[in-house]
Every structure is written in structure tokens, then in C-alpha cells.
Amino acid sequence: MRYELLIDGQLSCGEGSIGVIDPATGEVFEHCARALPEHLELAVAAALRAFDGWSRESLASRQSLLGAIADVIENNAQPLANLLTREQGKPLADSIWEVNGAAYIFRYYANLDIPVQVLEDSPQRRVEQHQMPLGVVGAILPWNFPMFMAAAKIAPTLLAGNTLVLKPAPSTPLTTLHLGALIKDLVPAGVLNLIADLNDLGPLLTAHPDIRKIGFTGSTQTGLKVMGSVVPTLKRLTLELGGNDAAIVLEDCDPRVVATKLFKAAFSNNGQICVALKRLYVPASLYDAVCGELAAIANRSVVGPGLEQGTELGPIQNQAQYERVLSLIESARQDGTIIAGGQRLDLPGYFVRPTIVRDINEGSALVDEEQFGPVLPVIRYQSLDQAIDSANNTQFGLGASVWSKDVAQAYAVAERLDAGTVWINNHGDVGPSIPFGGSKMSGVGAEYAQEGIAELTQLKIINIAKS
Ligand code: NAD
């Protein structure tokens, strides 16, 4: 199998290749085509040529393409999931869930209308609000959910009538390119273009004069560069960035019941989720019990290669992130007490045991920064006001959650938390029908649902005088 770029409806071998590492072994297991700046230029030019025709297609025909892509993903779910586990590391069952999730996203947009709104229809005038496509969109992805993120960028962008140049993360290009090969004969030439890089083409994409909008998902640090780079060409921009989500447990929770759900919220995908639970606030009365339950779950979690039967947590996706997580664990060893995990596995890949740190507070890097890995700080609180202040005391504002049997009390706390999404008795529940975006340094704009379509379109008012 060759993994090639998709440019102007054709597979392209680019120039040279990218070695893709299996994080379960730390070794290169596959190669894909590498795009150079000239391939990016070809991709943007193809997208620009295709725009006129694609934007004039009926909504029904665009919807029908998205439905057909969903079918292709579902029919190839198993090989896509295997590939996803090899390049990303997650357990196979999680990859199957992600691949089916990607198909679900395409299906959702295949059924979404972009209605013309009649703002006024009076004897004097009729005023209509239309949502027009923008032109060529550039999309840039991170490495935590390659299939899911690709679907979340491709489906709404094409539904809105735009054409797209998409760049996956350098360490997880394969599933995206494989999807391109599977659907290349379905998609009109130039409507969808896929390029893969060695972390060097992002700035060219964001600054390109023929691109009208950038959809970026990644770290806040890179998001700031992207924001600066789009200014000279006044591009539209959506930024889905980092988070440091807090969860606040209220006094009436059953420690055993809540710990199981909190563990899942913090450690799914090895904590490599923008809306993973990253700081846990527990009242003093429940502190020892909740810490004990979390440590017990962490200690019995099965860590290993994602393709191995029974694995619950795979390796960390790449070496840089692995080293960052290990360094956060070392600093937490000084600042708190590690009660589970705290060590790497004696295997060649990037394995770290799920780690629970107690007796830790603000001022420690593990609490103040985004860990994006399998390490959870558990912070004791004396008063609810103090917990809410601490939860809000961050540059981030992506998600947060409140846990209680008393939903009214939890709701009152949720109202005081500054985040794009606040869950009650849940954390991380997202989907294409629910708008998603962050406050503060967690992002600009929103994705999903009609709010996401609004960011991929330009308003056009048609105002008809009647008298
Ligand atoms: P990253 O910012 O390092 O890289 C993301 C992408 O940006 C990659 O494709 C990379 O090649 C590209 N890039 C690098 N430099 C660039 C530049 N100067 N201009 C344009 N593009 C550039 O992020 P990552 O390490 O891949 O992902 C982890 C981060 O992503 C975490 O902070 C996580 O919270 C965040 N994230 C956010 C969401 C969300 O929806 N809010 C979702 C997933 C991940």
C-alpha cells in the first residue's frame, strides 16, 4: 500500500517520503508521500479552480457526496482502524469507535440543511439571508484523533460549498491519506486536496493569499502563530486550541461511582484529548476516598500495544509528548505525592502507566499547564467558592464539569464556570450536533452544528423592494 497525497483528484507521490513511527515500538513502520511547497501550491490552485463548479452544485448533491463518503468509511472501518492504531497508538476498539465516529460526522452533515432565512416579508420588502461559500479553506489537524478531526473539517467545509486543502499532523498522516485514496473517485477533482508535511507547510497554508479561511486545531502556542499569520490576508479563522479542564466533585458524590467516570474522563485516549479532564477538585471530606478509588483503577488498567487484545491504554502518540509527560511526572514527584503509576513501562514504545498525583496544588506545572497525557492531579478543596475560583484561574477555557447527585446545585456551579462547554455528571461528551468552542486562550469561534457552518460561510442579504 502506498500512501500518497491527493491533489486535483489525482494521487501524487510528492517529493521524498515521511517515515511514520509506530508509538508502540518507537520504530518507523510505514512511509507516506511528502508534500513540498510546490505541491501545496498545486493543491491550492486545484482547489481554487474547483471552487466555482462546486459552489454551484446543489446542496442535495453536496449532501449526497458526504453520505457516499460515510458509506466508504463504514465499508473500510476495520482496515482504517488497524492503520489508526498503528500510527496513533490507541487500542483497536477505540480506533473502531473513532472510525465509526468519522462516518457518523459525514452522515450528520449529509442530512444538514443550510436554509435561506426570510428576515422580513412585508408589503414594503422581502429580505432574505443566504449563507454563501467562502472559497478555498485550509485545515490543519493535530495527532490525537486523526480520523475524527479530518471528518470534522472535511464534511462541513464541503457541505457549505467550499473547497479544501487539508494537512494532517506530521506524525499521523496515514489514515487521512488512505481515506483520500478510498474516496478520490467520488469527489470532483480539486474539491478535496490532502497534503502531508514534516511540520513545515503550516505557515505557508495559513499565509496563502488564495485561501479564504483557516480551520486550525492544535496547541494554543501554534494557534497564536496561526492567528498572526492570517492577518495580512484578512482570512476567516477558527481556532480549536488547548485546554486545562477542571472537574469539581461536590460533597454528595459516592466516591466509588464518581471515580470510575472521572477516570474515564481523564484517561480516555491516554489523556490526549483537548477536553480530557486535566485537573480534579475534590472536597476534603471525600478526598482520601476518591484518591484511593482512582489509584485502584489506575493500578489495574492494562497498558500495552493498541493491537494487543485486552489493552485499555496504548502508548503516548509521539516521543516529544512522551518526554513532556515524563518531565511533568518528575516535577509532580517534587510537588505532590504519586499514588499510582509514575513510571514508564519497560518496553521500547512510548508507554507510561496512568498516574494519579495527590497533595498537589496550583503553582505546580502539572496543575497550571496542559499535560495532554495520562497524569491526573487531584486537588483538595475546603470551600466550593475556592474550588470554583481555582477552576477558573487559568488562561484556558475549553471545558469543565461538575459532579453531584443534586443537579440543581451542580447547575448553580456550572453557571459560574468559565468554559465553552460545562458538563454535569459527564465530561467530554461532544458531537457534530452540538456547537463546540473554547473561551479565553482555548480558541476563537466554534465548530459543529449551524454555528460551525456559519463560520464556513459568508452572509449575503438579498433585499427586494416591493413598493
Ligand atoms: P500542534 O499545535 O503542535 O500542531 C497542530 C498542527 O499544526 C500540526 O498539523 C502541525 O504540523 C501544525 N503546525 C505547526 N506549526 C505550525 C505553524 N507555525 N503554522 C501552522 N500550522 C502549524 O498541536 P499537536 O501537538 O498536534 O496537538 C495537541 C494540542 O492540540 C493540544 O494542545 C490539544 O489540546 C489541542 N487540541 C485541541 C482540540 C480542540 O478542538 N480544541 C482538539 C484536539 C487537540
CATH of the domain at 182: 3.40.605.10
Give how many domains the chain has, as a whole number.
Answer: 2
Beta strands 396-397 and 457-465, pairing class: unpaired
Residue 370 Cβ < 6 Å to ligand 1: yes
Q: Is the pLDDT confidence value at 52 over 70? A: yes
Does residue 145 fall inside a structural domain? yes
Residue 276 Cβ < 6 Å to ligand 1: no
Give 268-300 pLDDT, tens digit per residue.
999 999 999 999 999 999 999 999 999 999 999
Asked if 224 and 159 sit in the same domain, the reply is yes
Does residue 442 fall inside a structural domain? no
Q: How far is the CA of 200 from the centre of ligand 1 (A)?
A: 13
Q: How far is CA 398 from CA 104, 262, 437, 440, in A?
A: 23, 17, 7, 8
pTM exceeds 0.95 for this model: yes
Residue 215 Cβ < 6 Å to ligand 1: no
Give 169-193 pLDDT, tens digit per residue.
999 999 999 999 999 999 999 999 9
User: pLDDT at position 96, please?
Assistant: 98
- Quick one: what percent of the chain has pLDDT higher than 70? 100
Query: Rounded to the nearest 5 degrees, what angle is found at the Cα of 187, between the Cα atoms of 181 and 190?
Result: 90
User: pLDDT at position 19, please?
Assistant: 98
Q: Work out which ligand 1 atom sits closest to the CA atom of 220.
A: 32
Q: How far is CA 42 from CA 46, 47, 83, 355, in A?
A: 6, 9, 28, 46
Residue at 79: amino acid letter: P
Q: Whose CA is nearest to atom 42 of ligand 1?
A: 274
Does residue 459 fall inside a structural domain? no
Could you list the residue range(s) of the whole structural domain that residue 226 is in?
5-240
Q: How far is the CA of 272 from the centre of ligand 1 (A)?
A: 12
From 240, 267, 297, the end of a domain falls on 240
**Helix, strand, coil in percent for the chain, rounding step 5:** 40, 25, 35
Residue 447 Cβ < 6 Å to ligand 1: no
Asked if 124 and 269 sit in the same domain, the reply is no
Quote the longest CA-to-CA distance of the chain.
Answer: 81
Does residue 343 fall inside a structural domain? yes
> Which three-class secondary structure state does DSSP give residue 207?
helix
- Quick one: what percent of the chain has pLDDT higher than 90? 99
User: pLDDT at position 130, please?
Assistant: 98
What average pLDDT does this structure show over 435-462? Answer: 98
Q: How far is the CA of 423 from the centre of ligand 1 (A)?
A: 24
Asked if 170 and 313 sit in the same domain, the reply is no
CATH of the domain at 309: 3.40.309.10
Asked if 210 and 317 sit in the same domain, the reply is no
Asked if 271 and 191 sit in the same domain, the reply is no
Asked if 252 and 141 sit in the same domain, the reply is no
Q: How far is the CA of 130 from the centre of ligand 1 (A)?
A: 32
Q: Whose CA is nearest to atom 16 of ligand 1?
A: 202
The b/e string for 168-192 (b: 16+ C-beta within 10 A; e otherwise) is bbbbbbbbbbbbbebbbeebebbbb
Asked if 46 and 157 sit in the same domain, the reply is yes
Does residue 216 fall inside a structural domain? yes
Query: Rounded to the nearest 5 degrees, what angle is found at the Cα of 133, between the Cα atoms of 132 and 137?
Result: 155
Q: Which of 32, 253, 274, 291 is catalytic?
A: 274
Give 80-122 pLDDT, tens digit per residue.
999 999 999 999 999 999 999 999 999 999 999 999 999 999 9
**Mean residue pLDDT across the chain:** 98
Q: Work out which ligand 1 atom sits closest to the CA atom of 436.
A: 40
C-alpha–C-alpha distance, residues 190 and 197, integer Å: 19
Does residue 460 fall inside a structural domain? no
Residue 275 Cβ < 6 Å to ligand 1: no
What average pLDDT does this structure show over 209-221? Answer: 98
Residue 140 Cβ < 6 Å to ligand 1: yes
Instruction: Let me know if 408 is exposed, middle or buried by CB neighbors in 10 A (0-12, 13-18, 19+).
Output: exposed
Do the beta carbons of residue 448 and residue 436 sit within 8 Å? yes
Q: How far is CA 452 from CA 30, 170, 326, 433, in A?
A: 35, 25, 36, 10
**For 199, phi and psi rounded to 5 degrees?**
65, 30
C-alpha–C-alpha distance, residues 435 and 420, integer Å: 9
Asked if 108 and 205 sit in the same domain, the reply is yes
127 sits in which H/E element = strand 125-133
C-alpha–C-alpha distance, residues 62 and 68, integer Å: 10
Does residue 435 fall inside a structural domain? no
Which of 20, 34, 105, 140 to mutate for ligand 1's pocket (most ligand atoms within 8 Å of CB)? 140
Torsion sign across C-alpha atoms 52, 57, 58, 59: negative
Q: Is the pLDDT confidence value at 1 over 70? A: no
From 185, 205, 240, the end of a domain falls on 240
Asked if 323 and 225 sit in the same domain, the reply is no
Asked if 400 and 280 sit in the same domain, the reply is yes
> Which three-class secondary structure state does DSSP give residue 345?
coil
Helix pair 146-159, 77-88: axis angle to 10 deg: 120
Do the beta carbons of residue 140 and residue 152 sit within 8 Å? no
Is-catalytic flag, 128? Answer: no
Q: How far is the CA of 72 from the centre of ligand 1 (A)?
A: 27
Torsion sign across C-alpha atoms 400, 404, 408, 409: negative
User: pLDDT at position 339, please?
Assistant: 98
User: pLDDT at position 226, please?
Assistant: 98
**E-assigned strands of 135-228?**
136-140, 163-167, 192-194, 211-217
C-alpha–C-alpha distance, residues 274 and 265, integer Å: 11
Query: Rounded to the nearest 5 degrees, what angle is found at the Cα of 180, between the Cα atoms of 268 and 103?
Result: 45
Asked if 117 and 151 sit in the same domain, the reply is yes
User: pLDDT at position 2, please?
Assistant: 86
30 sits in which H/E element = strand 27-33
For residue 150, give the DSSP letter: H
Beta strands 337-340 and 236-240, pairing class: unpaired
Asked if 182 and 147 sit in the same domain, the reply is yes
C-alpha–C-alpha distance, residues 239 and 255, integer Å: 36
Residue 421 Cβ < 6 Å to ligand 1: no
In 363-431, alpha helices (H): 365-368, 384-392, 407-415
Residue 226 Cβ < 6 Å to ligand 1: yes
Which of 200, 216, 222 to mutate for ligand 1's pocket (most ligand atoms within 8 Å of CB)? 222
Do the beta carbons of residue 111 and residue 64 sit within 8 Å? no
Residue 30 Cβ < 6 Å to ligand 1: no
C-alpha–C-alpha distance, residues 443 and 396, integer Å: 9
> Which three-class secondary structure state does DSSP give residue 82?
helix
Is-catalytic flag, 32? Answer: no
Residue 306 Cβ < 6 Å to ligand 1: no
From 217, 240, 263, the end of a domain falls on 240
Does residue 335 fall inside a structural domain? yes
User: pLDDT at position 11, please?
Assistant: 98
Q: Whose CA is nearest to atom 13 of ligand 1?
A: 202
